Amino acid sequence: GQNIDQPTEMTATEGAIVQINCTYQTSGFNGLFWYQQHAGEAPTFLSYNVLDGLEEKGRFSSFLSRSKGYSYLLLKELQMKDSASYLCAVRDRNQGGKLIFGQGTELSVKP
Amino acid sequence: NAGVMQNPRHLVRRRGQEARLRCSPMKGHSHVYWYRQLPEEGLKFMVYLQKENIIDESGMPKERFSAEFPKEGPSILRIQQVVRGDSAAYFCASFGTGDAKNGYTFGSGTRLTVV
């Protein structure tokens, strides 16, 4: 089976940097995804990591360490609109390649 | 290129009625996934379909729930004899071969309320 853990909620200040961690256990790791979901809306794709290291996309970066079963999403220059839930998901080739999601981290950005 | 289309956006059903949720994947995508999301929870996998085939239904409840993705037309998630516990947001996602880096594209979801 799989176990994906991320903090339930986090609070940060506008303009600051926040790091959202995700740990996972899987038998056939084949990629890790981060999604953003605003309340009442669809999840939207943010980033994908399959090799170790950092992937940067504007204000958002995502890091992966396969040996540690660990990833983080880094959000810089936080804006109020970044208040949302951030979902970590793992693709497991032994699970038919479907994405398995963590429970999500609810991020609140305060002025 | 239209995204993943789900309808209806909101659906209210009385206990015991049937709910039909529809999903049209992105053009060119032949893989469809259904997920359920309860309030304050993450997305739970239900079923994975390709055209005319159910590939993985390990997340589907054994009774009352069924899914199909016919050769023509949208994918349908059907819930018979709904109960209050079925109230949730149901998201459909599609995926195209060769889209490994882009993950799934999600529709806007159907919010089912059972009264």
Of A74, A102, A67, A106, nearest to A88 by C-alpha is: A102
What pLDDT, on the 0 to 100 scale, is given for residue A37? 94
Q: Which residue of B has its CA nearest to A105?
A: B42
What pLDDT, on the 0 to 100 scale, is given for residue B101? 66
What pLDDT, on the 0 to 100 scale, is given for residue A5? 96
- Return the number of CB contacts < 8 Å for A and B: 52
Contact A96 B48 (CB under 8 A): yes
In chain A, residues with a C-beta closer than 8 Å to the C-beta of B60 are none
What pLDDT, on the 0 to 100 scale, is given for residue A24? 96
B99: pLDDT confidence band, cut at 50, 70 and 90? low
Neighbours of A89 (CB within 10 A): 26
Cβ(A89)–Cβ(A32) under 8 Å?
A: yes
In chain A, residues with a C-beta closer than 8 Å to the C-beta of B111 are 40
Q: To the nearest whole angstrom, how far is the Cα of A56 from the nearest Cα of chain B?
A: 14
**Exposed, middle or buried, B91 (CB in 10 Å: 0-12/13-18/19+)?**
buried
- Cα within 13 Å of Cα(B70), Cβ side: 6
In chain A, residues with a C-beta closer than 8 Å to the C-beta of B100 are 31, 48, 50
In chain B, residues with a C-beta closer than 8 Å to the C-beta of A104 are 41-42
Contact A102 B55 (CB under 8 A): no
Percent of chain A with pLDDT over 90: 82
Q: For chain A, say whether B34 makes contact (Cβ under 8 Å).
A: no
**pLDDT tens profile B9-58:** 999 999 999 999 999 999 888 889 999 998 878 899 999 999 889 999 99
Contacts of A64 (CB under 8 A, 6+ apart): A32, A49, A50, A51, A52, A53, A55, A70, A71
Q: For chain B, say whether A89 makes contact (Cβ under 8 Å).
A: yes
Residue B7 has pLDDT above 70, yes or no: yes
- b/e map B67-83, b = 16+ CB within 10 Å: bebeeeebbbbebeebe
**pLDDT tens profile A54-104:** 999 899 999 999 999 999 999 999 999 999 999 999 998 887 778 999 999
Q: Which residue of A has its CA nearest to B97?
A: A97
Secondary structure of A3-62 in HEC code, one letter for each residue: EEECCCEEEEECCCCEEEEEEEECCCEEEEEEEEECCCCCCEEEEEECCCEEEEECCEEE
Q: Which residue of A has its CA nearest to B32?
A: A98
Residue A108 has pLDDT above 90, yes or no: yes
